[in-house]
Structure 1
Amino acid sequence: MFESRGLPDYPPPRNAWEYPPPPISRRWKWVAILAGLAGLAGGSSLLVTAIVLGTSGAPGIIDDEDLIRVIERECRTMTESVESTRLIGSLPQQARAIQQQNRAVSRMVSAIERGRAQAIREDRPTEQWLADWRAIVEARNRFVLELVENGAASFDMPLDPDGVPVNVRMEDAWLAESSCDVPSVLVSPYPDDSSDV
């Protein structure tokens, strides 16, 4: 094996801080400074946007916590009522069941609105959401009339101005999972084509 004959170890032991820093061109120094300032400005604008959205509410999203609590409570009651009302029997019996479901929806809308006009005006998506419930009830009332008069009818969910069923828009009014879905029995009065009507 080769012996060093007293030569120093390679590389010589040194403190790392004794080496001079690598040279930095002036251009890269300015690029780094500008990138730091741009990052700071971007972060500040994101913070301001988050604060504004947090205080004024996101457009199209129902976010008033008091309203959401009332909506959840009243929606549970309405959903239990409409899901427990079955469309069976003769056409007049089915028509009465649909009207009973419609009354449950109308009671829910009235209970949500009662004494909360200002809160609903300030949280504008709630106004549209409630109007969509009314549109569903009106469409179902027309369905009942056609059912009784003709002995056959097909229910079509009302559409928004973009041609999308309003129940889809209603689901989009919630930030996370829906606080109040439109029950499937209201979307399709005769699920799975179980009726001959």
Structure 2
Amino acid sequence: MPSGPEYPHYPIAHEPPPQSLSQLWLVAAIGFVVGSLIVATVAVVVISRADPSAAFATYIDDPEILHVIEPECGRMTDTVESLIVTGTPKEQAAVIVKQNEAVERFVAAVREIDADVLATDEPTVGWLADWDVLVSLRSVYAAELERGNRPVLELPTDSVGDPINERMDWASEPECVVPDTLLDTDPEVVKGV
């Protein structure tokens, strides 16, 4: 069958005109930039609204401070772990007081670092304040035990609900972590006591 002249192709009204490859790359690049800006803006808003007391600026990394923290924390940890909270409530309270004294000696040793060095290291300042809070709470706990009450040691939490000891550990790991014995208030059961 003889073929007649070819009919010209007319675009259908709903068919978009063909785009060049460079136009597609331009659209993709603009989309990527806009998406990145949105993600960055959300991140800035979330970070700026975070509770500033919930976490330290970063972790403790000043070599002069770490040089003191590591051995002093080791001594404190050895001491508090050797003091087992056991016996009558009054005996338990006395052990908790002795453990607190070891922590206070540790914190005092860190605070002996040059005041200018400590003042410029925000993580250390917050970390030391958390140690003070922990000792204070344990002191109240010991006093309640001595009065014959059955207190509960409740650690303060940060804005996400994590106890402060997790923040303390994060700021100073691996040089110093809060010994579990300072957080565990269930005494060892000793038969006959």
* TM bracket, shorter-chain basis: 0.5 to 0.7
SS of residue paired to 2:119? helix
SS of residue paired to 2:177? coil
Aligned amino acid, residue 81 of structure 2? E
Distance 1:123 1:139 in 2: 25
Please name the residue that 2:75 is paired with.
Answer: 77
> Contact 1:83–1:185 (CA<8 Å) still a contact in 2?
yes
Aligned amino acid, residue 59 of structure 2? I
Q: Quote the sequence identity (%).
A: 37
Deviations 1:66-111 (A, max 9, x none): 1101000110010011000011222211111000000100110001
The CA deviation at 1:136 is 0.3
Aligned pairs (5 A) from 1:141-160:
141-160=139-158
The CA deviation at 1:195 is 7.5
Aligned pairs (5 A) from 1:1-197:
59-174=57-172, 177-190=173-186, 194=189
Distance 1:104 1:129 in 2: 17
Which blocks of at least 5 consecutive residues in structure 1 are unaligned? 1-26, 32-57
The CA deviation at 1:161 is 4.5
Aligned amino acid, residue 64 of structure 1? D
Distance 2:168 2:190 in 1: 27
> Contact 1:83–1:183 (CA<8 Å) still a contact in 2?
yes
SS of residue paired to 2:171? coil
> Contact 1:147–1:153 (CA<8 Å) still a contact in 2?
yes
> Contact 1:139–1:158 (CA<8 Å) still a contact in 2?
no
Deviations 1:1-38 (A, max 9, x none): xxxxxxxxxxxxxxxxxxxxxxxxxx8xxx9xxxxxxx
Distance 1:152 1:119 in 2: 42
From the CA coordinates, give the structure whose radius of gyration is larger: 1
Distance 1:90 1:149 in 2: 11
Runs of 4+ aligned residues of structure 1 deviating over 6 Å after TM superposition are: none
Q: TM-score normalized by structure 1?
A: 0.64
When the two chains are superposed, the root-mean-square deviation of aligned CA atoms in Å is: 2.8
The CA deviation at 1:189 is 2.4
Which blocks of at least 5 consecutive residues in structure 2 are unaligned? 1-21, 27-55
Higher relative contact order, chain-length normalized (CA < 8 Å, sep 6+):
2
Distance 2:136 2:175 in 1: 23
